[in-house]
Amino acid sequence: MTQRIRKAVFPVAGLGTRFLPATKTVPKEMLPIIDKPLIQYAVDEAVEAGCDTLIFVTNRYKHAVADYFDKAYELEQKLERAGKLEQLELVRNVLPSHVRAVFVTQAEALGLGHAVLCAKPIIGNEPFAVLLPDDLIWNRGPGALSQMADAAEASGASQIAVQDVPREQTGSYGIVATEAFNGREGRISAIVEKPEPDVAPSNLAVVGRYILSPRIFDLLERTTPGAGGEIQLTDGIASLLADDPVHAYRFRGTRFDCGTHIGLIEATIRYALDHEKLSDAAQQLMQNALKELGVTELE
Ligand code: G1P
């Protein structure tokens, strides 16, 4: 796989029940960190890595994602007439002009592996990326996917983003066993979905960024339901290990699990503190809030 990736898959068909009632009408991928929805952060990361074809695997309730990436003629006209050019640029740049969006429906929620398989007709026979927008990765330098795309091009191996997690959390992740790392990459020898801590092969967890060989599709077609009764991407990757090199990649950056309340809060705080215009005010109000709570405790 010495080819540069051009296509990225975004599975966005989940129900987002953790964020009810907000997600009753707003898909969880549309929840914002400051002023951008989660999906936009993932899209920006894929475009930065060189992708020009973005495939959104949605369900029939997720019009909001398609609407968001559609051209907003009326809004653009209004902003133009009002001379709000900065905002106009923001709205237009949701998708740069050289990038196209393709929407594929996943009729039934059969699992992440099945969602990725739905993109097969559009990907064809080339390496591609998968990004899970819940996993937001903050980095001052190149984005995580860009780092991985470079590694995939150089090594010819599929790449799976990983990070260490506390042992008691292995049941929430795909967990890998690897050979010795060479720099940021280590060849994966085993991968298992959501093992209990006592049977987990390590505490090295899969984060939602993948660069995969198209051979995964044939394997996913033969993958039977696994953890949680779902067709797991992890199980497809486990079959791929026998045919192809698959590397775990320790990316540079901080990952926020925006599929949880605390992760979403943490990400908001981080982006606010790192924000050109909001940083000072955000720092001040956090200090004030802590002080006020401290005072309350003393009373
Ligand atoms: C999915 C994958 C899992 C991975 C995780 C990363 O699980 O199945 O292997 O570790 O994303 O966020 P989910 O969080 O969708 O249950």
Residue pLDDT, tens place only, 188-231? 999 999 999 999 999 999 999 999 999 999 999 999 999 999 99
Q: What is the mean pLDDT of residues 151-175?
A: 96
C-alpha to C-alpha distance for 63 and 86, rounded to whole angstroms = 26
pLDDT at 54: 98
Predicted confidence band at 1 (pLDDT cuts at 50, 70, 90)?
low
pLDDT at 16: 82
| Percent of the chain clearing pLDDT 90 (strictly above) | 85
Across 274-286, b (16+ Cβ under 10 Å) vs e yields eeeeeeeebeeee
Residue 42 has pLDDT above 90, yes or no: yes
C-alpha to C-alpha distance for 20 and 26, rounded to whole angstroms = 9
13/286: higher pLDDT: 286
Q: Return the ligand 1 atom nearest residue 173 CA.
A: 10
Q: What is the mean pLDDT of residues 254-272?
A: 96
Predicted confidence band at 15 (pLDDT cuts at 50, 70, 90)?
confident
| Spacing, Cα 208 to ligand 1 middle (Å) | 6
243/259: higher pLDDT: 259
pLDDT digits (tens, 9 = 90+) for 82-100: 999 999 999 988 999 999 9
Ligand 1 in reach of 206 Cβ (< 6 A): yes
Residue 279 has pLDDT above 60, yes or no: yes
> Which two structure tokens, joined as six digits, stand for 100?
């196209």
| CATH class as words, domain 7-259 | alpha beta
C-alpha to C-alpha distance for 18 and 191, rounded to whole angstroms = 27
Ligand 1 in reach of 132 Cβ (< 6 A): yes
As beta bridge partners, residue 247 has 159, 187
C-alpha to C-alpha distance for 176 and 161, rounded to whole angstroms = 10
Ligand 1 in reach of 135 Cβ (< 6 A): yes
Residue 297 has pLDDT above 80, yes or no: no
* All CATH 3.90.550.10 domain ranges in the chain, comma separated: 7-259
Please provide residue 227's backbone torsions phi and psi, each rounded to the nearest 5 degrees: -50, 135
Predicted confidence band at 237 (pLDDT cuts at 50, 70, 90)?
very high
Burial (CB count within 10 angstroms: exposed 0-12, middle 13-18, buried 19+), residue 167: exposed
pLDDT at 295: 62
Residue 298 has pLDDT above 60, yes or no: no
Q: Return the ligand 1 atom nearest residue 135 CA.
A: 12
Ligand 1 in reach of 94 Cβ (< 6 A): no
Closest Cα to atom 10 of ligand 1:
173
Average pLDDT, the chain: 93
Predicted confidence band at 61 (pLDDT cuts at 50, 70, 90)?
confident
Closest Cα to atom 9 of ligand 1:
174
Ligand 1 in reach of 13 Cβ (< 6 A): no
Say what the pTM is.
0.94
Give, for ligand 1, the residue of 173, 192, 232 to mutate: max count of ligand atoms closer than 8 Å to Cβ: 173
Q: What is the mean pLDDT of residues 259-284?
A: 95
